[in-house]
Amino acid sequence: MLYNYALFSNPFSSPYAYLIEVHQSVHGTGFFGATYPRIDRFLELIVGPERGLLLYMPIMLFGAAGLVYCAWRKLPHAWVAWTSLLIATTYVVFYSAYSNWRGGSAFGPRYLIAMLPFLSMGLAFIYECLPALAVDLIGAISISINWLGAQYGFADSIAQHLQRLIVQGPVLPTFGAILSHSSANSFVHRVAQHFSLSVTLFLTVALLFSVYHLWRTLPEQRDRVRRDPPR
């Protein structure tokens, strides 16, 4: 509010009221760009190839299922499940009413990121009704998909980055930026060209070791929780 007052002499004034003309078409209609929910945008945010939550983070399907299971069975934390489901649903419904539902340049559903912790809590319950191996496998696939986003940046679909992975290999973005913005004869360019693959392989081995360590320790932690559940 102090920031708004310093800029606009009104603590309740929003920067959206001072948009430049190029953004008026996006944020100038309805409530700062939101009008009414539309089913096509709702489906795009859930399963669409461009920003579909369940395509970019399929583990969230298990998270939502875990919340439903907790609420339906009236487990001790059912009120948390109901609240989390309400928050997640509100996010999707609101942004299905948003004119710029894609969120501009992004990888995956940018606007839904803030609701992910609430859906993730459902994973604490899903192990009671689904095989642990299935949950862990979908979790690993979700991590791999989002690793592509961290590796290559913005995209309109997962397929774009899969093609890049096949063509370019797992080269770190830092090296790509150095190679594309430096002279071919410079020392930095030559270092990046020779060491990019080796550093990437080293980090890949480190990541695989971390995954293996989690795979070995998580069953022990789950067994400990089953023996002595939290109160």
pLDDT, average across residues 34-48: 89
- Residue 161 CA to residue 151 CA, distance in Å, equals 9
Number of other CB atoms surrounding residue 122 within 10 Å: 26
pLDDT, average across residues 71-95: 92
Domain encompassing residue 69: 33-130
More confident residue, 34 or 101: 101
Q: Name the residue type at position 17.
A: A
pLDDT mean across residues, the chain: 82
**Is residue 92 assigned to a domain?**
yes
- Residue 67 CA to residue 85 CA, distance in Å, equals 7
**Is residue 3 assigned to a domain?**
no
**Is residue 161 assigned to a domain?**
no
The total number of structural domains in the chain stands at: 1
**Is residue 69 assigned to a domain?**
yes
pLDDT of 81 reads: 93
More confident residue, 45 or 76: 45
pLDDT of 149 reads: 87
Output phi, psi for 143, to 5 deg: -65, -40
**Closest alpha carbon to 101 in 15, 27, 20:** 27
Question: Do 217 and 209 meet the contact criterion of CB atoms below 8 Å apart?
Answer: no
pLDDT of 152 reads: 81
DSSP of 64-128 = HHHHHHHHHTT-TTHHHHHHHHHHHHHHHHHHTTBTTTT-SS-SS-GGGGGGHHHHHTTHHHHTT
Report the percent of the chain where pLDDT is more than 90.
Answer: 34
**Is residue 89 assigned to a domain?**
yes
